[in-house]
Structure 1
Amino acid sequence: MSSVLYDEPGPVARRRERIGSVVGAVLIIALLALAFRYADGRGLFGADRWDVLYDPPKNQSAEDVWRSMVVRGLGATLRAAVVAAPLALVLGLLLAMWRTTRIAWLRLPATAVIELFRGLPVLLMMLFALLGFGWDAFASVVFGLTVYNMAIIAEILRAGLASLPKGQTEAAYAIGLSRAQTLLLVQLPQAVRTMLPSLIAQLVVLLKDSSLGFVVGYPELLKAMQNNAQYFGNTYYVALFVAGAGIYLVVNLSLTRLAIWLQGRSTRTSATITADPTLNPAAGAAGGGVRPPR
């Protein structure tokens, strides 16, 4: 079966791919072995470097350490992401609709806003909100995450709208729908479904960018790891940051699996609608007529 983007590779190309995969795997294994050997030589695998996760010193319990990272740190990270993500989605949707208007002079402000916030670093916008507006750390983090990601989401949705066949719009106009009705009822639902994996991936980026909040004093997960490392000592930096990285991986991989599941469900739904003559008259006509009503 041919790929959508590429032709099916021939025997020579497949042989080269297998050789490249083997060589790449050997190089990765060699690099990992060197890294483990280097870490072992520095004593990073000793029990005294990891007991902070199960038997920490200074009269603290493992429950205290994990609560500080999972409940307070990850909780603060998710709280900022839960507030910023809907705001970025709504504002990005409005910007995408604004930029797709047919009036050129109306498109210019939306284009300027998107290009401005897409080109500025997230951390710079957090610092601007903190120092310029005088907001607290939480509001500054939400502001930086929102304005940056709304610009990216607007471009994602604009690309989804541009990818739709022009016949969709012409058919909507033919049955009497206005420009706004066509955009809201016909184009946007299809664009969102098409770009859903990209939207979920951008939400993962938003969640990861919340780690920049430690610069403005927001007590998110990275800040919680840093506080623990400073309290227990530099000996436990590696263990604490490995634990924090594991927490980030669990959350981000869960969101990635959600994107894959949503994409599969959307694909199955589209295939069902396309193949069912009662839902798609064109399929019935191709097969000899529309199924009569029961």
Structure 2
Amino acid sequence: MTKEATVLFDAPGPRARARHNILTVVAAVVFLAILGALVWRFNEKGQFAGKLWSPFLKWEVWDNLILPGLWNTLKAAALGTVLALLFGVVFGLARLSDHWWVRIPAGIVVEFFRAIPLLILIFLAFFIPNKVSPSVADSAFGTFQRVLVDNFFSIFGVEINAGVITVPAFAAVVFGLIMYNGSVLAEVVRAGVQSIPKGQAEAAYSIGLRKNGVMRLVLLPQAVTVMMPAIVSQIVVLLKDTALGYIIAYPELLNAAFRQVPANYDNNKLQAGIVVAVIYIAINMSVSRFATWLEARSRRSRKTEAKTMGGGVGAPPRLPRGAPPLPRPPRGRVLPVGRLVIGVYLSEVKHPVMAPTDPRMRDDSWYDRSCDPPLRLLALPHLRSRRRPRAAAPQLSHRRRR
């Protein structure tokens, strides 16, 4: 099977294809040999015994242990993914701000949480509020603290017990996932936006868009396609990082299947680990497939939109909805397409060889300066040419000077 040659890849010849086939066969043989050795050792140690695998064939094990652990894993991963993406977008764009008082603090926050291991963040979020938080008294600060906990942090399970704030394992795990993975995603957003050619932003500024419009309408839609592989890989990492809740007794999938099942059924930790690994592989592959489908769908929608909108050389400009109509072009000889004025501000630029012949259009009073800036950049078809008046040639007198 041959591959088409591209700029960065030369199609292999007959010898290269033969060498690739030989290396593929050798790698497959080595892999099968290693797998066979593992299976033989498993069988020799009795790891394929039915009593070690039978617990995973019982519905009560799945209903009471594995499925609740899987639900807790997906719940923490889903909430952590949404909030980490929000954190990453906000702080990633803040790092691109022109204001130093926004850019520098955002950079400090991102670098701080990105440098701390996730396990330490989970430990700090779980133990510090229980040890350091003061008692919630009947003071103004205590009232504010109680209102904040009751109305906001209660959705994460945070509550006040005996006057002390108690943080559950779920809130600690989600906090660690948000801060660490959100900091990584902030760098992904910043790098993705900066990877867009500067000409895109300059073209958007030239039609009068402000910076928020340039970022929202031009840069971010293009950067999402560039960032998608990194975002998907980080979401997969976030999903696997939920297993670190094992260390603070959060009842996630690894804790339920790897600790509780072996404790109740013949200490089958190896079998439990294999089952957990298969579940994680299935979830991560599903996330990757969904992201690939979503990216392909967005590309198809952009291509379809570009086709249905029309355009191209000679196509009439399409005005935005609600925009005032363009002035009716004057009659007369039409310039060739190559000499049409495209993207000229009528109120700022005067073309030396092209101008309308209608007296109403020779000055700028007819042009509505309050109209949308993109309307100024529409093509101006059907303009008559007006040649510059040539300087009169000096007339020679036939009379001789006296």
Match of 1:42 among 41, 45, 56: 45
Name the counterpart of 1:202: 234
Alpha carbons 1:122, 1:144 under 8 Å: kept:
yes
Instruction: State the percentage of identical aligned residues.
Output: 39
Provide the C-alpha distance between the structure 1 equivalents of 2:209 and 2:68, rounded to a whole number of angstroms.
50
RMSD: 2.1
Provide the C-alpha distance between the structure 1 equivalents of 2:41 and 2:61, rounded to a whole number of angstroms.
28
Provide the C-alpha distance between the structure 1 equivalents of 2:42 and 2:175, rounded to a whole number of angstroms.
40
Provide the C-alpha distance between the structure 2 equivalents of 1:268 and 1:14, rounded to a whole number of angstroms.
34
Name the counterpart of 1:21: 24
Name the counterpart of 2:222: 190
Alpha carbons 1:214, 1:223 under 8 Å: kept:
yes
Match of 1:64 among 60, 63, 73: 60
Name the counterpart of 2:108: 112
Alpha carbons 1:118, 1:151 under 8 Å: kept:
yes
Match of 1:218 among 247, 250, 253: 250
Matches within 5 A, 1:98-247: 98-104=94-100, 106-134=102-130, 135-225=167-257, 226-234=259-267, 236-247=268-279
Provide the TM-score with structure 1 as the length reference: 0.87
Corresponding position: 1:279 with 2:312? no
Name the counterpart of 1:95: 91
Shift of 1:280: 6.0
**Residue 280 to residue 97, structure 1, CA distance change in 2 (3 Å):** farther
Name the counterpart of 1:259: 291
Provide the C-alpha distance between the structure 2 equivalents of 1:97 and 1:250, rounded to a whole number of angstroms.
33
Residue by residue over 1:75-105, the C-alpha shift from the partner in whole angstroms, topping out at 9 and shown as x without a partner, is 1111111211111011100011111113456
Structure with greater contact order relative to length (CA < 8 Å, sep ≥ 6) = 1
**Residue 280 to residue 118, structure 1, CA distance change in 2 (3 Å):** farther
Residue by residue over 1:119-157, the C-alpha shift from the partner in whole angstroms, topping out at 9 and shown as x without a partner, is 221111000101112322111000000001101111111
Provide the C-alpha distance between the structure 2 equivalents of 1:187 and 1:36, rounded to a whole number of angstroms.
52
**2:255 alignment partner AA:** K
Describe the SS at the equivalent of 1:68. helix
Alpha carbons 2:76, 2:170 under 8 Å: kept:
yes
Higher deviation after alignment, 13-22 or 196-205: 13-22
Provide the C-alpha distance between the structure 2 equivalents of 1:3 and 1:227, rounded to a whole number of angstroms.
54
Provide the C-alpha distance between the structure 2 equivalents of 1:47 and 1:70, rounded to a whole number of angstroms.
19
Name the counterpart of 1:79: 75
Q: Which has the larger radius of gyration?
A: 2
Provide the C-alpha distance between the structure 1 equivalents of 2:216 and 2:27, rounded to a whole number of angstroms.
47
Provide the TM-score with structure 2 as the length reference: 0.64
Provide the C-alpha distance between the structure 2 equivalents of 1:18 and 1:163, rounded to a whole number of angstroms.
38
Residue by residue over 1:160-208, the C-alpha shift from the partner in whole angstroms, topping out at 9 and shown as x without a partner, is 1112121211121111111122112221122123322321221121111
Higher deviation after alignment, 248-257 or 17-26: 17-26
Provide the C-alpha distance between the structure 2 equivalents of 1:291 and 1:63, rounded to a whole number of angstroms.
66
Higher deviation after alignment, 75-84 or 264-273: 264-273
Provide the C-alpha distance between the structure 1 equivalents of 2:315 and 2:195, rounded to a whole number of angstroms.
29
Give the number of aligned pairs: 277
Provide the C-alpha distance between the structure 1 equivalents of 2:6 and 2:121, rounded to a whole number of angstroms.
41
Corresponding position: 1:290 with 2:315? yes
Alpha carbons 2:65, 2:260 under 8 Å: kept:
no
Structure 1: runs of 5+ lacking an equivalent: 55-61
**Residue 161 to residue 292, structure 1, CA distance change in 2 (3 Å):** closer
Shift of 1:106: 3.7
**1:68 alignment partner AA:** N
Alpha carbons 2:92, 2:189 under 8 Å: kept:
yes
